[in-house]
Amino acid sequence: MQTKFKTEYSTIIKAARKKVWKAITDPSMVKQYFFGTDLETDWKVGNPIYFRGAFEGTAYEDKGTILEYHPMTKISYSYLSSWSGKEDHPDNYLIIKYLVEELEQGTRLTITQTNYDQERADHSKENWKMVIDGMKNLIE
């Protein structure tokens, strides 16, 4: 059953939009700031997206489907974490959206997630801050 709960993380990155976009979509860059995760996708709407790696010695494979792809502006995909313990059913997938906006002082990156509860949302927001801080260190 889908939930209506949504959380949002937004920050200004002191880098050009093109550089932020590359950091989001280029697997070699993602691996550098996203806990060593291997990103695999062709970014075509309807095709799969995978996040693979190991955390504290335990392998994981998170997956989803590309829902939207608008170059330099917006990406969205469904997402199921192998750590969630939830069955592979459409109602159990989160929806993750990245919005990239060019500003005078840099680039605003806004990430929203839907379809989960308050506890997971709070945990997720902390994780996004850690991930995006890593991205900032890489590209600013």
94-103 and 6-13 strand pairing: unpaired
Q: What pLDDT tens digit does each residue of the chain (140 aa) get?
A: 445 677 888 999 999 999 999 999 999 999 999 989 999 999 999 999 999 999 888 899 999 999 999 999 999 999 998 878 888 988 889 999 999 999 999 999 999 988 666 666 666 677 788 888 899 999 99
User: Which structural domains are found in the chain, ordered by start?
Assistant: 6-139 (3.30.530.20)
C-alpha angle 68/69/71, rounded to 5°? 155
Distances (CA, A) of 18 to 24, 73, 82, 107: 10, 10, 31, 9
pTM of the predicted protein model: 0.88
